[in-house]
Chains A and B, each alone.
Chain A
């Protein structure tokens, strides 16, 4: 099924303050038999510290893909997106918005700020599996990611 060659272990940064949603993402990857390295942070400030390798994230791996919630404590996901896409050293990392919001303004603003996709969080675990399978097949098997 794979179009491009199977990548080695990819790293995905999950930015989500809801531990249950992080767990569902991780369990869905397990369920489809794929095991990218999954890192999670729970706030916008921590996301930027991770990406800029400051403080306790000095040795953090640069992620191949970011899954970003919008409703975060402190710095909001939309602001995190803007910071990533206006930072020349980070802007090439694809960012998929993953949110409870289906608000049209959030959708348009995210794409206008160069989100690489916008997904409304599924309700059931079964739908999480469908969503994570689509993300994995597209971003980790089909697309050529930047180095």
Chain B
């Protein structure tokens, strides 16, 4: 289907504290017909350490794309987004906000802080699968990601 080179080993960073959502995201990604490297951190502090390659993440791979929840314990997702987009070495990485919130304030603030896009979390597993297929088709098959 794709007219471009298929990226078989995309590195995806999932920043999410809810175990159920992590599982749904991972399982929905597994439904895709491609090998992905999925890395999960469960709070904002760990996300920043991962991106800075500190401590246990000293050998962490630079993510090709980030899925970021807004509602995180400690440093919130909005602050993580701002940190990424103000860092000249990180800001080119696309950040997809994946949140339970459909508040206009959260949506506007995320776009103002240069999130690539904002998606309200689906309610059912089937909708997670549908969402991942659409994400795959746009971000993995159509777009050229920054290296």
Q: Residues on A close to B: CB < 8 A?
A: 1, 3-4, 85, 88, 91-92, 94, 102, 104, 107-108, 111-112, 114, 116-120, 122-124, 127, 130-131, 133-135, 137-139, 141-147
Q: How extensive is the interface on chain B, given as a class?
A: 35 or more
A85-B114, A111-B94 given; name 17 further pairs at CB < 8 Å: A1-B130, A3-B119, A111-B146, A118-B144, A118-B146, A119-B144, A120-B144, A127-B3, A130-B1, A133-B137, A138-B134, A138-B135, A138-B137, A142-B131, A142-B134, A145-B118, A147-B108
Instruction: Type the 1/0 row for B103-137, where 1 means its CB is closer than 8 Å to any CB of A.
Output: 01001100110101111101000010011001101
Say yes or no: A143 contacts B118, CB within 8 Å.
Answer: yes
Residue of A112, A116, A134, A145 contacting most chain B CB atoms (<10 Å): A134
Does B142 lie at the interface of the complex (its beta carbon under 8 Å from any beta carbon of A)? yes
Number of cross-chain contacts by CB at 8 Å: 107
Say yes or no: A116 contacts B116, CB within 8 Å.
Answer: yes
Say yes or no: B131 contacts A3, CB within 8 Å.
Answer: yes
Chain A residues whose C-beta falls within 8 Å of the C-beta of B91 in the assembled complex? 111-112, 114
Q: Which residue of A lies closest to B127 (CB)?
A: A3
Does B143 lie at the interface of the complex (its beta carbon under 8 Å from any beta carbon of A)? yes
Does B88 lie at the interface of the complex (its beta carbon under 8 Å from any beta carbon of A)? yes
Give residues 50-83 of B contacting A (CB, 8 Å): none
